[in-house]
Amino acid sequence: MADNYLSTSGINSLVTSYTYNMQERQINPLNLKKNKYLDLNTAWGDLSSKISSLKTIVNDLKLASTENIFNTKIADSSNTSFITATPSKSASVGAYTMRVSQLAKGDLLLSNTMASATAVTDKAGDHTFRVTSGNHYADVKVTLTGAETNKSIMEKLTEAINVDKAEITSSAVSAASTFTGAGSFVVDLNGTETTLDYDFSAGLTYSEAIDSVVENINKKISGLTAEKVTEGGNVRLKITGNNSSQYITIKQSSDTGGLFGAANLNIDVSGQKGGAGIVSPTFFAPSSGNSKFSLTAANSGYDNRLQLSETSGSVLSFLGWNSSLLSSRTITPDNDSAGFMYTVNSSTDNQLNAKYVLNGINIQSNSNTITDVVGGVSLTLKGAMAATDGDVSINVKNDTTAIKAKLQEFVTKYNDVYKYIKSRSVSEKDSRGVFVSDSTSNALLSSLRNIATSQVAGIPQGNLDYLSKIGITFSPDTGLTVSDDTKLTDSINNKPLQISEMFNSTNGIAARLFTETDRYVGSSGVISKLRSTYTNNIKYISDKVTTTQKNIDKSAAVLRNQYNRLLTQLAALYTTSSTFSSMSGSTF
């Protein structure tokens, strides 16, 4: 038997058996602990994701302002060909009747009809004109060479308007002269005001002062480009808008040194846009061989009617838009003559405003989208109605479908958390749930159950104060269920404020669930701390397994060496025995 063990194969078998037994005794218990921590770490990670989803939905449900989900409204129009309505959550439930007699239009100015190929040789040079619409204006410049035709001038005008940007240039000041002073100025870019301070009390040259202002504007205001323009010994401040549709207003807030005042940079601008932000230019051929140019206001309505004036040159007069036509708003008498397309006698007598009747009241609007007449409701006028068309009815009501969908989403997200913990808190015949005997998960499960089934404190007597009162019931095995859809629909339609209070009051269901879920998720939440502990334990055990395995391997190597020495000694004994046997045979 010893011969069998003290062989190479026998030694391998003995060492393998030793290694296996030591692993069973020392490493396998460690791996069992490690696997438990791995399972817990994974389970809490998955649960954290589900809790975060629940937290998101209850955060929506706990909003107590008019923007909460229970104020969601829907508006029905009896004829969407004429009027559509979009209510916000702040809209009141109600009904309206409307008629539309005129849609809002953008003001339209047409040039004379001109022979396309006719040469124009007397317009060489720079031509600048201002076009104003509402509270905004654009200064457009076009340069002509004297080698154009009627058509090419219209093409150049179209391009000049489309590429034009709001451009503000200060007066020229001596670069080397000194400016001393402190103050601030406000830049209003399309409604966003930025106050910029400067302090040159120690005195700077105008060149240095402008450099500082340029740096400040470019650093703090996205959408503008500021630069210093040098002209011989003088400098200017130039500010350009990047988007032609955005207006620029610059005003002094506190400018004791007068940097922007008339004696210095002399910047005074209010509501300047690029050309395309004011008008849409078009040139077209009304008949063979002829061209016509038009300007259409970018915004509709009487308040945004077009007003034009020549600053330098005569390009407007060339088109047939002389000062008399522009000031009197002459209506074009035919297809070939210059003039305005729409009559504008006054704010009430014009063809530019939308005109409609709401609940018997005549109203006008610059736009076909009306947001300031019915609180919380945006009305869009689609078409003018004939006398034979019936009134349009607008009915604003609670959006039962959207509210029910949100509550169903809440039920689903709640159950995702509840059932995940529940299913992992029991042991089956062949497996043990990862949350069995876990106090943290059991505490969360208990809180979820308590919040879903308990009465909401602080609710007036007789109001909705249990989920079951709106048709949502709780089962210890499956969580929440919409068990009575009729009751839920009736509560949404008739008691939306009570449902809202049940969820978003101080002790409301959503408010309490948000507080509870917030404890568990996030970088400093319970789950993060648990998983950090598990991760540390997993690393510790992994290191322990590695060290233990090295010790076992080392011991196995020592054991192998010992067996190998025994094998060597045994071989020597066999050799000695054989020698003695041989010698004994020869002697005798």
Query: Would you list the DSSP string of 10-54?
Result: HHHHHHHHHHHHHIIIIIHHHHHHHHHHHHHHHHHHHHHHHHHHH
Statement to judge: residues 316 and 178 lie in one domain? no
- Tell me whether residue 576 is in a domain: no
- Tell me whether residue 291 is in a domain: yes
- Tell me whether residue 87 is in a domain: yes
Contact 396, 85 (CB under 8 A): yes
Length of the chain: 588
Indicate the residue among 309, 340, 371 that finishes a domain.
340
Q: In the structure encoding, which two tokens stand for residue 528, read together?
A: 């993060």
Indicate the residue among 299, 319, 340 that finishes a domain.
340
Statement to judge: residues 159 and 97 lie in one domain? no
Residues in Cβ contact with 372 at an 8 Å cutoff, skipping those fewer than 6 apart: none
CA distance 530 to 246: 52
Statement to judge: residues 210 and 316 lie in one domain? no
- Tell me whether residue 132 is in a domain: yes
- Tell me whether residue 8 is in a domain: yes
CA distance 68 to 232: 63
CA distance 531 to 296: 64
Q: Which of 77, 79, 84 is nearest to 381 (CA)?
A: 84
- Tell me whether residue 582 is in a domain: no
Statement to judge: residues 407 and 391 lie in one domain? no
Here the CATH number for the domain that contains residue 334 is: 2.60.40
Here the CATH number for the domain that contains residue 250 is: 3.30.70
Integer-rounded Cα radius of gyration of the chain: 43
Statement to judge: residues 293 and 251 lie in one domain? no
Per-residue pLDDT 10s for the chain (588 aa) are 445 656 778 888 888 888 889 888 998 998 888 888 898 899 889 999 999 999 999 999 998 777 788 889 999 999 999 999 999 988 988 999 999 999 999 999 999 999 999 999 999 999 999 999 999 999 999 999 999 999 999 999 999 999 999 999 999 999 999 999 888 889 999 999 999 999 998 999 999 999 999 999 999 999 999 999 999 999 999 999 999 999 999 987 665 558 888 788 988 899 999 999 999 999 999 999 999 999 999 999 999 999 999 999 999 999 999 999 999 999 999 999 999 999 999 999 999 999 999 999 999 999 999 999 999 999 999 999 999 999 999 999 999 999 999 999 999 999 999 999 999 998 877 788 889 988 999 999 999 999 999 999 999 999 999 999 999 999 999 999 999 999 999 999 889 889 999 999 999 999 999 999 999 998 889 999 998 898 999 899 999 999 998 999 898 888 888 888 887 887 777 777 777 776 665 554
Statement to judge: residues 214 and 298 lie in one domain? no
Number of domains in the chain: 4
Statement to judge: residues 212 and 119 lie in one domain? no
- Tell me whether residue 346 is in a domain: no
Statement to judge: residues 235 and 184 lie in one domain? yes
Statement to judge: residues 142 and 180 lie in one domain? no
Q: Please provide the DSSP assignment of 177-205 as one string.
A: SEEEEEEEEEEEETTEEEEEEEEEEEEEE
- Tell me whether residue 577 is in a domain: no
CA distance 107 to 104: 10
Statement to judge: residues 204 and 151 lie in one domain? no
User: In one letter, which amino acid is 541?
Assistant: I
Q: What is the pTM of this model?
A: 0.74
Domain enclosing residue 357, as ranges: 73-104+353-398
Statement to judge: residues 425 and 530 lie in one domain? yes
Statement to judge: residues 366 and 441 lie in one domain? no
User: In one letter, which amino acid is 16?
Assistant: T
